[in-house]
Every structure is written in structure tokens, then in C-alpha cells.
Structure 1
């Protein structure tokens, strides 16, 4: 045995043997590494499908070809047709068909030119990938590469490679693209006649050109159908009917149901160059088509007012998945419409749509209760002068009503109390990325649309709130999950890990009362009649209108869905009447009518609430002087809420008509009552809207005035105000109207500007002044000697 081994070793050491073995090793290495890791590196089309895999839209590849990404699924009809036509022994050969090669070699020698290639489907894949010229040497290397390909992939994968990369005429590559371009359907929906035509084209792609070689294509297609019948793959009647079908004609446009989502997908993929350019989205194609129709129908009306653009999004609350994505109307033929702009992702002024988020935060922190009165009076804060949309004031209004009526002044007052920096940080924590300047850049105007948001993030924020409330009452059993706050998605996402906590970013009770206030908003054109119909959808919703009537918003929430709508012009042009309530809200409710009706509503999270006594008149926690109270479930933060500041004991004489003091009336003769007393400026407006409000009786003439509080207040201007008085038509400077309030009816107020007397008022305390530019002092003195003084500045420009 040892002798035999030594002979073998000596034989191997011979130079010729070493050379031969080296060549064999090199050949083996070349064979193993002859194929690149990725066979096809050509650019592919961007393709988006709906939730069921049906085509929503596609764009042409960078090299000008309609080439869909590799698809592992090959329809059985195509498999049968292409094997029958191109490679009948495909299932059995190792990548090379020796019989076919021999026949081709014999035909080419006898014909003295290339008559037949004898290539298998596997060899054709190699040629498609390398694009080498058809020479004998290339054919030789093609054979070995085909053998290597058969080792790397199975037959199903090889067939899929061929179907995805074969040429189908013109600039169409791959079965998927060809099926949509020539028949307007996916490959799995093609008939035998259509599929037979598809199997012919890779061998002769020029046959598909309209008006050229139509008879040749028809003949080849019918011969293939005959072959399929002979092999027993189809029966005679199927073959006969298939022959009556038309062959491909002029290419048809691909579906473009969601062009702006396709545009977004392309932009998102720039950061992930190695990802597939085809995705299955969460879009419901039927709903997408219906929403598109709603937008187009409303666009026909709105464009009469030169309002050219509309966008809408529908989100699933539970998953955050996008069910419909209509970034704009679609009119590529009219460039003036700028319909290519995806408004869903475009930063725009949100108007009042952030107010519910502030309301929820203030409830969460116990700064207000649902019905706490908040001031609604003329306001100036460091030059910022917010106004309500109707230019009227209520004096004081319950916080929930201020939200449902979208009053601007109470919202600014609430943000002033909450602090704009805190609210700015909260918006960032819930995923708002469009506020890219420091908080002090926006200031209090943030709550009125002074920043920019987009429909994607804002709709997602409301979906987050609904998800938190649903889960608190449901699967999380009184706890919170930080993962409930996330951006919307347009593809199905894996389930995230749960991190349950006792406290949430917003508590469920605050969210519940926020949605309750939002549900009370009057629907456009329906007043309150919708509540009488049991089939009507319950929706919590909010509108917004940006400054200058440039943007109209409406966002609606149910336990299952969020619908967001934006209306306006992408170039920022404002239009009269472009408000959220008149333009966006009707579209939003029309979209809700397309969705399944949610029979249930958000469950009241009692476990996250406490019951306390509420002062009926002020909406605050009842204090010791509140006589009319009622119990109410409020958020846990309500335990930190302030007690009613506006009830106080008042001493009256026996008649109850006069206030008295111990200086003029013996205490034993006094009647003490608890009285609801608002500050003078709030009372001035409040009593005109609330007839049940009783003003304080005046002091009896023989009594000294109570000096604990000033019965007079200057409504306008406020301390430190900076005022610009515009020029009138005649070029002269106009006048500023100053306004004051006094508790005592019929009393006189004496007005002084810069210590100079300018006039007096009785009952209706308002004067018009024309101070020159510069610093000024306004002093008011009433008949009882009470004094109010403010400093303000008149601006030159």
C-alpha cells in the first residue's frame, strides 16, 4: 500500500501533471465564479401595488425601459407557453440541451449561416444578462455559465428570471410590464390567446410594433396554440376560442391611481438604494379610486373660484396604515394646476388644527377642566393682537366651547398660560418635524397657524391619540404604550414591541374630552340635524383656515379611521371664501360616507378619571363660595386644577339692592351672598351673551366704596401696546378707538391722554383718539376716584 501511495505522489510531482491539475483548478474556479452575485443590474421601474397586490402605478426606469423588478411568481399559462415554444425539455436538461445544440449546429453548417441557436431558456438568460455578441466562443462560454446558473437556482427561479428580463418589444422588458402595457391587466389575468402572444414576443420582439408584421405574429401565436392543444395542455374549444382573440396593439397607459404616493415612494427610496423598487402598499384600490372621484367632483366646483388643488388622506387608526393617499388632483395635461405637487407632504400653515392638541395638554396638566371659563376679550401681547374669526368677543367661554367654535383669543390665552416652548416640545415629541425654527420664532402665533405642518404628520398625530384611547380601554387594560405614537405608514409594518407604562404622553381621559369637544362642532350645511339620524357617522373633527385664506383644512377622527383634507392653491394664492369649514369639511364628510360606519364610539376611560365637584357657572373646581355645583368625572390632572376664582361673598343691605360695608351698615343688618363676579373687561362682553349673569349691585350712596378691587378696566389699549394707526383715504392719519368697562352703570369716566383731559363717557365707555407717533400715557378716572393708567406707543410705520 505504501509503495502505491509513493508512486501516486511521484506521478503528481511531474511537471505536466502539475500543469494539468492547475488548469483544471483554474477552470473549476472560473466555472464557480463565472457569474456575478447579481445577474441583472439594469435599473427597474418604480412600482406600487395595493394591499392585494394589484397595480396602483408605475414609472419608467432610468434607462427609458418599462422594466418591473424581479418577480418570483410566474403564471402557469406563461410557463406552459414559453416551454412549448422555446425549450420543450426545460424541466429535464441541466441548462444545456445537447439535442437542440446538435440540431442547430447541423442546420447552421448546412445552411452556411446562423439558422438556429439551440439556446435553452437558461442560456438565453445568460445572453440577456451579458448582452454578448452571438459568436461561437460566446456560445461556448454561455454553455458553461448556463450550467453554473442551474446549480445556483432551481427551475422555478430560472423561469422567473427569464420572465422578468426578456424583451417584449419597443421599450418593454419583462412579462409584468408587457402584460400591463399591451393588455392593461396583470399576467395572472391573461387568457390563453393573450399569453401565447406574450410567449412569442421575446423570440421576435419586433413583431409587436403596431402596423408591422401583424400577420406573422398572428400566425406564430396560432401555431403555438395548436402545439399546446397537441400536447394536451388545452382542449380544442379553448384553442379555437383563443385564436379569435386579438393580438397586442398600441401600448396602453399603465394605471395611475396614486401618482403622488408613487412620487413619495421614489423619494423615500433615494435613501435606500439597494431596496426593491416595487412595494405592496396598504392602499385599498377601491377606496383610492372613490376618493379620487370625490376630489375631482369637488374640484370642478372649487376651480370656479380659482381654487385649483385638493389633497386627502385616509388612515387606519389601529395600524397607522394609509388606506387612501391622494396628494392632489391629477391633471398633468394642465401645467397651471400644478397637480404634480404632493400636498400631503408639503408644509403649509395649519390654521386652527393644532388647538385640540393644546386643549388635551392643558387637561392633562390640570391647567383647565373641560368647561373652565377662559377669557375672550380684546387682547394685545407684545404687539400680537389675535382676533376671533367673527371679530366678536364673548368675554368668557367654556374651554370646550372655545375649541368647538375654534375661537382664536381663548386659544392664545391658553397657550400663554401653557407656554409656547412646552407646546413646541410636545409637537416634536409626537412626530411633527416641519417646525424647524426655534420655539420663540413662532411664539403664541403657533396656535393660530404661525408655523407649518403637513397633512401626513398632522393626520398621524390625531390617529396616535385615537390609538392611545382605544388601547387604554382595550388590550392594554389601563396602561400606555410609547409605540402608539408613530408616523403613518404606507406599507405593512411588523408588530413593534410593547413597552407598557402607567403614565402616557397624554392621558386617555384628556384625549376623550378633546374628542368629545371636537364632536360638538356644527357640521357644514347640516346644523345639528345629523344627530337625529342613527345612521350618521359620529366624527370628532377640526377645521383650520390659514391667514389670507390660503389653506383650508379638515381632519376627522373615529375609533377606526382618520380622514384629513386640504384645499387651496399650491402656489399659496389666497381666495375669498377659502375656509376649512366651507371647502375642506364637506369633502371630509363625503369621504367618511365611503367608509364603513363605526357603530361604537370611544369608551369613556373611567379608570383614568376622578370625580370632583364643579362650579356650574365657572366650570372650575368648586370653591367654598360656589353654591351651584355638580359632580363630574375629569382627568386625573383635574385634582391639581385651580378652584373657582370668580365667586366671592358680597354684603348687601336688607333690600338686596345695594352693596354695603361695615362703615354704613351694622353687620347684623347685612345679607351676605355668594356672587359670581367676572373681571370688568370679561363682564363687559359676557353679560351681553349670557342673560343669566347678574352684575353686582352698586354701593349704597351713603357707603364708602370697597377699595379691594378696581371696578374699572381698560380693554384697549393694554399696557406696553405698540400700535400703528393707518392712513385714511385722504392721506391723513386715522384715529384709534379706546374702550373701557366699568361695573357701576351710569357712572362717568374721565379720559386723559398724556395728563391732558380729552373727554368723558357715561355707560358706553369708548373714545376715539389721534395721538402722534411716540410714547403716550392714557389715564382714566371714574367719578368715585378709581384710576387706571397704561403706557403705549404709536408707531410711525
Structure 2
């Protein structure tokens, strides 16, 4: 092989290696510095931002750069930017001459492309580095467009102090988005990357003004602006001390930080679905109530507002933002914190029982003293109604009827239902929660709770949209990231809760009296129709209120993040007023449409709310969920036989059938009757049997209210240390009847009218025998716990 050919091959190889080196000279990601986490409102305005991990305010690369900044920076740094390919040789030669004459560096001659390279490399400024910047600037121009290069410069140029990038500088120095800056403000920022030390409060003001004004004059010469605009811009003040960035959604910002990886979002900036105006208003409302509640050492409050039409978050206030008072735990996002839900799950049980054919909307539910396997629920007012319609029990948030309903529905079934509709915090088996599940015995997050109700609202809203079918995605969690959310076309015939059951539930939830309005709100046609529910956890640790309309779901929590309970921390007093103040910021709209094809008109017994049977005399026709056809027939209306006068009950053993009157009678069990007749004056007790008639009513004339059969009771100690007593309570249909009390086959006493007895039996198992004057007997057992076991 000749020497010439070898030299040619070597030269060719060197050329190829240089070409490859040039091609791979730029890294795939030019800037690797950490960026600030930034959340924008749906309109693009800044809501919250966090400083980057290296202590710099550096926003991610913007999608676009304001034209004013482009004009300013090109006029100031690189007039021939659009006409060169990375290097302006005229500017470079001029700079070399100026530096030679001055015997120092007075002009750089660098193009914006070269400055982008220098910013990305952060190397010492030497002749060798300058030559390398020239080569890399060529490579930069081959990979990126002029617009992208401007964006890279604007996002990474230093603007003084710890501020990097135009957007961060605009917010730090002017408190506004860069798109809103004037010519004077933009010119001020444009000269800073060249001399970032000029932006120093109390220093360099004259030099900064002079540089800005020189740039404004250049803009006039280049015909970017006219002289009048320049003169007015010169009168504008320059920024002083850097401004704090907005912190209108700091908890959502932290949530985005935590979820960014799972969401597979590469950038640290998102445009959220939050409505900026509403977010600010909700912050103000919560701050006002927080100032009031802190007098009672209630330090934390949060609210979440979801748009039911779009399935998005429009306001997210995880807590009151108080960075200077960390001891108040304002950093804790209570929207994601598991807390006891109090009574807020009761509408879900009511709807589930309607959906599965266990009850009708007005079915009577027992409300009497109850003990189930040692569990004794109590109503908030410590009273009893005897029996109450299911919808009224829901609107009044009575605990005992709720437990009775869950006992009938089965807590295992309800547990599974809650998981299916979005409650994700049920980490223990169903048996761990038991019947306490309906009274706040589990933990939920505000996020799950609000999204569960959102699913119900969206299901009912879509009744006509999907022609009676169901969208499986209606129970998906709301999105807080702005995106083109497309409606799924995945429809099916069944859902977790049907249209009719949801509609009936929302109607029941609407009947609650609003706080402060004393029920008069119904008289005003302008008042917004809202279905809502409050909740209070055990120990007054959590106060809840959740409300909904066809357009919005609002959820409010009030309490202490550390779990400390406070007197007066109840849903109706602490959370409900906040809920309605938030709803006043939302536009009114129409109420839910009646899902007529998912309702069925059936005959219902007016007194009991059950499906009417043959003995029901007062019957109504009502629209109920279709599963209502499966419910039981009224068990409380029975046919009784009276004498000719109608004053006494009789049997065929003491009265001729031809002389009898046969009447339908509304008869509740004795314990239910005992309380029911106190609050319902129109309730008619059964007439007594005629003298000489052989009663065959069995034990249904008497019922032990406390203790229940098989119960374990505790006898407390008095203040002086002596052993206390328990009060045994019995209901008898005939209030004037006498009852003879026996404990362990020993006669104790006789009672009339009010059948109560205070006793102090020894520890162990006891048999209580009750006999009325007609010989009717009731025998039950109970166990008194030993005091040593009570201590343990």
C-alpha cells in the first residue's frame, strides 16, 4: 500500500472521528440542573412553587417566551440571531478588536446560542472554552430551532441572587407572569443576565436604570417600539426586594411532588385543573374560620371542591398555610390523611340498602336502647324515637337506626361495597370493624370520601347521557392535572349503586336543616338545593361536612392534625358553616333529573314505610328504586278482634264471632312502642282484653329494654367507693298493668305504670323472670361482670 493511500485513509478516519465527535458533542439533555416544582391554575397563572433542590428558583423550560422578551434580548445580545448559524463572525471580530485595544475583556461577541452552551457547561471562560463554545453552538443550531434556543436561554439565564430563568424572575421581581410585563419591566429583566449583580436592593439602581434605558433606546432604533412608549417605559420603577412567590395551593404542590413518578410526568411543572379565583376564595374562607376556631385550640381545616361535570378538582386546600408556625402542623395535607369519618358513610349504607332491596325510603327502623355483643351505640342526643323512617334517621344522623340497618345489611357486605366504590383505606378485615364501621370505626381520607360521592353524582348525571346504562369510570378519582379528559364509552347495565337508589339518597340528604338558617332557607327560591351530610368522630377529633349538587361535590374537614379532640368540634357546628360558605361561591344550577325508568311506583304503607300488605289501611303510591319490589310486606299492621263496642279485644272463647269487630291495627313491638308513643301522640295502643277472655298473645306484651337477653353488664362504683346499681327497664303494652319481678327465682318487687328496677346483683350469671297480672311471662338472662375483670 502506498504512503499516499495510507495518509488518505488516516486522514479520512480522523475526519470521521471528528465528525462523530461533533455529532455526539451535545448531551441528550442539555441542562441537568434541578428545577422548581411549579403548579399553575387552569388559566395558566402561578398557584404555588417550591425552590429547587440546589437552592435556586429555577422554573422548568417554558412552552413559549413572550415576544417582548424575545425583542429585548435580541436587541441587547444578538441582533443577527435569526441570520447566523450559532456564531456571529462580525460581532466576534468586533469584540476581538475592542478587547485588543482595551487590553482586557470588554466585549464577548457571544451569540445567544453560544451563551446557551456556556450556561449549560458552566466552565471557566478561556480562549479554549470560547473555541469549544463556537463548535458546540454550530451543533446546537443543527439540533434545535431558533425558538427552542430562545426558550432554553430564557429558562436558564441568571437573573441575580438565586433566581434563574425569565419566569422565575418575573414572579420574584414583579409578582406577575412574564406575559403580563410592560416594555420597561421586560427591558429591565433582559439586561440582567449580562450583569446579574445589578439586581441588589439598595445598590446599583442607577446603573440598572441606565442599562435598561439604553436598551429601550435600541428598541426604538430597531423599530420594535416607538419613542413615546420608550419614554413612558423609562419612568417605570425598577424592582427592589424580591417578592415571595404565591402559595395558594402548597399542599397540592407537595402531592404532585409525591405522585410525579407514579403519574409518569417528566417535567416538574403542571397546569392543574384548579380554578384560580375559587381557590383563592376558599383559602380566604378557611383562614377566616381558622382564626375563629383557634380560640378553642382547633388548629387545622381543609376543603376539597370537585367539578362533577368534568370529574376534575377545582379547589384543593389541604390545610391552612402557616409556614412560620410549624407546631400547628399546617404542612400536613388533611385531604390525604386517614381520619375517622364519623357519620359520613351513612348515606352510602342507605343507598346500598335501597339498591339491594332491603328497605324502601321511608321504612321504619327501630330506635331503642341496643346492645349487640357488648356493643352499645348511642344517639348524639342520647334519646330514642322507638321507630323512625329510614330517610329521617339519615337526615337526623341517628346512630342506633344506622347500626340496626347495618346489622340487617351485614357489615361484611357493606365493607365490600365501600371498597368497590372507592374507599381505599380499609386495610383490616371486615371483622376488625364490625358494626362500628357505620359510626366512624374505620378510617377514610377526604380524597376517597369526596370521590365516592362524586361517583354517585356522575352516575346520576349520566342517566340520560348513557340512556339508562352505567359508565364504569364514573367512580374513578377526580383529576387535578389539566388534560383532555375524554368520556369513556365503556357502558354496562349494572353499577355499584343504581340511579334510583342514588336519587332517593340525595333527596333524603337534602332534608337536613342548614346551620344558622333555622329551616327558613326552603322559603327562598334563590337558595341552592344541596344534598349534604355531617359527621363527628368519637372523642370530638374530627368534624366533617360533605355536600353535593349536580355540578359540584364539596368536602370540609375541621380538627387537629395531631388527633387532639376538642369540645364543640362537631360536624354541624364546625364544618357545615364552612361548607355552605363555599357553596355560596359556586354557581347555582338545576337539581338532578328524576330517573323515571329506574323507579317503580308501588303501594306503600303510610305509617310503616313498608310495602303495603293486605292489612294496611292508609296506602300511598310512591316512586321507589326498582329493587323495592323485593322488600318485605309491612309487618306492623295486623288484624285484631274487638267486641261489639270496640273497647276490648276478644277471642272466640269469650265472644261470638258474629258480635266481633275486625280491625286492622298498627302494632309496634313493646320496646319500640314504649318510646314511639311518647313522640307520636296519634299512636293508638292496643285495647285491653275483655275480662274473662283467655289471652294468647305470648311474650309480645312485654319486652326487656335493658339489659338485652344474654347481655354482660357493668356495675360502677359510687364516689364514696360503694358498689352502685343497674337499672332494669321493661316495656309493657298495658301501662297500668302490674309486673312481678324475680331474680334467680326469688321475688324482688312489683311495679306499675313505670317498670324500672334498680338492683345490685352479685357478679355472675342471673335469670330475670317477669310475670304480669295476667300470667304472661318473660324470662331472660344477663351476666354481671366481676369488678376485678372490670379493672383489667
Give 3-state SS (helix, strand or coil) of 1:484's partner.
Answer: coil
Contact 2:735-2:754 at 8 Å conserved across structures: no
- Alignment match, 2:720: 730
Of 670-679 and 160-169, more deviation after overlay is shown by 670-679
1:652 aligns with 2:642: yes
Q: CA RMSD in A?
A: 1.5
Aligned equivalents of 2:586 and 2:219: distance in 1?
47
Deviations 1:196-250 (A, max 9, x none): 1111111111111122222211111111111111111111111111111112211
- Distance apart, 1:572 and its partner CA: 1.6
Q: TM-score, normalised by structure 2?
A: 0.97
- Alignment match, 1:291: 282
Deviations 1:515-545 (A, max 9, x none): 1010000111212211111111111110011
Of 739, 746, 749, which aligns to 2:739?
749
Of 661, 664, 673, which aligns to 2:651?
661
Structure 2, unmatched stretches of 5+, are none
Distance 1:708 1:791, change over 3 A: closer
- Alignment match, 2:54: 63
The 5 Å alignment of 1:512-527 reads 512-527=503-518
1:172 aligns with 2:163: yes
Contact 1:317-1:561 at 8 Å conserved across structures: yes
- Distance apart, 1:330 and its partner CA: 2.2
Aligned equivalents of 2:99 and 2:217: distance in 1?
27
Deviations 1:34-68 (A, max 9, x none): 11111111110010010100000101000000000
Aligned equivalents of 1:609 and 1:162: distance in 2?
63
1:355 aligns with 2:346: yes
Of 501, 518, 523, which aligns to 1:510?
501
Contact 2:669-2:700 at 8 Å conserved across structures: no
Contact 2:698-2:776 at 8 Å conserved across structures: no
- Distance apart, 1:435 and its partner CA: 1.8
Of 709, 712, 719, which aligns to 2:709?
719
Contact 1:375-1:413 at 8 Å conserved across structures: yes
1:341 aligns with 2:320: no
- Distance apart, 1:273 and its partner CA: 7.1
Aligned equivalents of 1:466 and 1:188: distance in 2?
39
Aligned equivalents of 1:755 and 1:212: distance in 2?
100
- Alignment match, 2:763: 773
Give 3-state SS (helix, strand or coil) of 2:83's partner.
Answer: coil
- Alignment match, 1:7: none
Aligned equivalents of 1:12 and 1:433: distance in 2?
78
Give 3-state SS (helix, strand or coil) of 1:124's partner.
Answer: helix
- Alignment match, 1:3: none
Give 3-state SS (helix, strand or coil) of 1:102's partner.
Answer: helix
Contact 2:301-2:557 at 8 Å conserved across structures: yes
Aligned equivalents of 2:264 and 2:763: distance in 1?
62
The 5 Å alignment of 1:267-416 reads 267-271=258-262, 275-416=266-407
Aligned equivalents of 2:225 and 2:409: distance in 1?
75
Contact 1:519-1:541 at 8 Å conserved across structures: yes
1:29 aligns with 2:20: yes
Contact 1:291-1:324 at 8 Å conserved across structures: yes
Aligned equivalents of 1:351 and 1:733: distance in 2?
35
Contact 1:457-1:488 at 8 Å conserved across structures: no
- Alignment match, 2:753: 763
- Alignment match, 1:72: 63
- Alignment match, 1:487: 477
Contact 2:543-2:558 at 8 Å conserved across structures: yes
The 5 Å alignment of 1:689-728 reads 689-708=679-698, 710-728=700-718
- Distance apart, 1:655 and its partner CA: 1.0
- Distance apart, 1:299 and its partner CA: 2.0
Q: TM-score, normalised by structure 1?
A: 0.97
Aligned equivalents of 1:369 and 1:274: distance in 2?
48
Structure 1 runs, 4 residues or longer, greater than 6 Å off? 10-13
- Alignment match, 2:772: 782
Give 3-state SS (helix, strand or coil) of 1:541's partner.
Answer: strand
Contact 1:107-1:115 at 8 Å conserved across structures: yes
Of 610, 616, 625, which aligns to 2:600?
610
The 5 Å alignment of 1:33-432 reads 33-271=24-262, 275-432=266-423
- Distance apart, 1:393 and its partner CA: 0.5
- Alignment match, 1:677: 667
Give 3-state SS (helix, strand or coil) of 1:163's partner.
Answer: helix
Aligned equivalents of 1:12 and 1:128: distance in 2?
45
Aligned equivalents of 2:763 and 2:118: distance in 1?
85
Distance 1:540 1:274, change over 3 A: closer
**Corresponding pairs, count:** 786
Give 3-state SS (helix, strand or coil) of 2:343's partner.
Answer: coil
- Distance apart, 1:784 and its partner CA: 2.2
Structure 1, unmatched stretches of 5+, are 1-9
Contact 1:737-1:766 at 8 Å conserved across structures: yes
Distance 1:198 1:421, change over 3 A: same
Give 3-state SS (helix, strand or coil) of 2:403's partner.
Answer: helix
